Chain A
């Protein structure tokens, strides 16, 4: 669908429409430059979507929304899609396909009782009415919005919703004291030396395995000493996650911040 239709294709004879309706459509279509092919359409000046296009078509053709002459409308819809070069907008093509499907369903012979026959147009009518109703609300909102826009509040707040920060009140003395404090603190830069410690995950795994083999279960606090170095804590954490992944143990934490309970996973053995 990425391909852009050439002008020749767009005006080509794929749709069998008699000349009369072509002129009618050309007149009804708002001024859209038909020559420049647009490869991607985000918003269309004329129509807000395929339902909008279909609805205006129904209005222009003066047909009853409850009894849409589907073959005719489908043809006109396709024609407008082509004239407006909407070929790349998937939504329009989707509705076009839907129209053609309904058209095909209408042509099928109706078997059995007439009451049982469900009008294939019913869903489309429902959607069109729903859409039309929504358009009515849009008109209301547009009017109210314009009404509000035509009056200014004392200070128009940009739509950020942020609360207004009170201006900072400081005496010169307070400011100077603060500056002095900062300068004093930063006079002598402290140089930290960072020693990289490699993690000992294998060692931690061995330790956990031996503890679990003996006791079947343990708590985090029993595996990691209170004064453990960060690298030891990290090694243990990775070891536990690794063993849990291997299915050797189950980890549980009954509530947030509670000690992690480590339990031997017997289901892993059975498998």
Chain B
């Protein structure tokens, strides 16, 4: 067990991206998925309880070692690492729509946002947060977009279902009240 925890720690340390559980399982073929899970848990507790500057986070369908938020300022001041840029409000709106309605075409995104989104789609695609996932039926067979694993990663989501369901949002779409 101790060996397994160390092995997982080493693997997570070596990878700059979250490591999916399947890959961790492949790493130690003799360990069962349950053993992997409890080893990950042991590592997480180890970081949390024994007072480490890093923590274990479950992100984008995998596991990743991250520095603790309280040291971000100091790390950034020393220019050891830089935070990625924040997305603009327009980009976030577009991303939110795609996350909920994927696969979705440009026209429908524009319909909801009320503005043209061509260049925003392009820059989101360049940042690998969205990608073309198919083509719609119908006139011109427009491209359909969906979110990528990197999207989950950058928004610290385990999976898409972690976002609240549409009907759980405070202002759920409901039919308009009786005609006036």
A152 at the interface (CB under 8 A from B): yes
| Known contacts A43-B88, A130-B173: A152-B81 contact under CB 8 Å | yes
Interface SS of chain B: helix, strand, loop or mixed? loop
Closest to B92 in A: A138
A91 at the interface (CB under 8 A from B): yes
Give, as a whole number of angstroms, the nearest-CB distance from B102 to chain A. 13
**Is there contact, CB below 8 Å, between B114 and A95?**
yes
**Is there contact, CB below 8 Å, between B150 and A161?**
yes
Residues from chain A with a CB closer than 8 A to the CB of B64 are 153
Which of A114, A115, A153 sits near B16, CB closer than 8 Å? A153
The total number of A-B Cβ pairs within 8 Å is 141
B34 at the interface (CB under 8 A from A): no
Interface size of B in residues (CB-CB distance below 8 Å): 58
Interface size of A in residues (CB-CB distance below 8 Å): 49
**Is there contact, CB below 8 Å, between A67 and B180?**
yes
Residues from chain B with a CB closer than 8 A to the CB of A115 are 179
**Is there contact, CB below 8 Å, between B84 and A149?**
yes
Interface SS of chain A: helix, strand, loop or mixed? helix
User: In the complex, which residues 17-58 of chain B have their Cβ closer than 8 Å to any Cβ of chain A?
Assistant: 17, 55, 57
Closest to B17 in A: A157
**Is there contact, CB below 8 Å, between B92 and A141?**
yes
Residues from chain B with a CB closer than 8 A to the CB of A157 are 16-17
Which of A126, A145, A148 sits near B59, CB closer than 8 Å? A148
**Is there contact, CB below 8 Å, between B16 and A155?**
yes
| Known contacts A48-B89, A156-B84: A147-B69 contact under CB 8 Å | yes
B2 at the interface (CB under 8 A from A): no
User: In the complex, which residues 65-93 of chain B have their Cβ closer than 8 Å to any Cβ of chain A?
Assistant: 65-69, 72, 75, 81-84, 86-90, 92-93
**Is there contact, CB below 8 Å, between A148 and B13?**
no
**Is there contact, CB below 8 Å, between A151 and B66?**
yes
Q: Contact flags (1/0) for A12-38 with B, using CB distance below 8 Å?
A: 000000000000000000000000000
Residues from chain A with a CB closer than 8 A to the CB of B83 are 149-150
Q: Which residues of B contact A (CB under 8 A)?
A: 13, 15-17, 55, 57, 59, 64-69, 72, 75, 81-84, 86-90, 92-93, 95-97, 99-100, 112-116, 127-129, 150, 153-157, 163-164, 166, 169-174, 176-177, 179-180
Q: Which residues of A contact B (CB under 8 A)?
A: 43, 48-51, 66-67, 91, 95, 114-115, 117-119, 122, 125-127, 129-138, 140-142, 144-157, 159-161, 164
